[in-house]
Amino acid sequence: MPEFINNIIAYYDTLLRALEFSRLGGLARSDVWLYPAANTLHVLGAALLVGAILVYDLRILRGREAPRTALVLSTIGLILLLVTGPTMFSAEATAIGHNPIFLLKIAVILAALINVLLYWLAGPVLPRLVRLHAFVSALLWTGALVLGRLIAYF
């Protein structure tokens, strides 16, 4: 393995250990309520984000106006997920950080966020691509949800 790859992996492992043994990691493992609350709000966040995005994307795919409410609900869902996800992750960062399903999930979330950016930047200029964005969005966000559930089984 090239030296720089080994260095990146070693640095990643240092970050995982720092997060797991941080105050947040300690609390997520020891506090009776923090992890269950984060897990519950994470599921609520996933339901809000993916549910609202599917409504939004299906409207776009049918060439109809997308409801603004879906945008608001999906944003609330994303914020919930981006707060509760790292909280749960900190409890077992060194283990989950090397879980292939978790790594694939993060890659899918990054691809979905890039697709959102391209939709907002290119959509007005290239309206013909809007349906493709909606289709890719529905696939990627649903994929993130499914992968999130599968983490515990791998």
| Interaction site with ligand HEM (CB under 6 A) | 39, 42-43, 46, 49-50, 78, 81-82, 85-86, 88-89, 96, 109, 144-145, 148-149, 151-152
Which residue lies nearer to ligand HEM by CB, 121 or 152?
Answer: 152
Shortest separation between residue 148's beta carbon and ligand HEM, angstroms = 2
SS3 112: helix
The Cα–Cα gap between 82 and 97 comes to 16
Shortest separation between residue 125's beta carbon and ligand HEM, angstroms = 27
Shortest separation between residue 146's beta carbon and ligand HEM, angstroms = 8
User: Is the distance from CB of 109 to CB of 147 less than 8 angstroms?
Assistant: no
Which residue number is nearest to ligand HEM in terms of Cβ? Answer: 148
Here the contacts of 16-23 (C-beta below 8 Å, separation 24 or greater) are: 16/93, 16/94, 16/97, 16/98, 17/93, 17/94, 19/86, 19/89, 19/90, 19/93, 20/90, 20/91, 20/92, 20/93, 20/94, 22/90
Which residue lies nearer to ligand HEM by CB, 43 or 129?
Answer: 43
Shortest separation between residue 16's beta carbon and ligand HEM, angstroms = 11
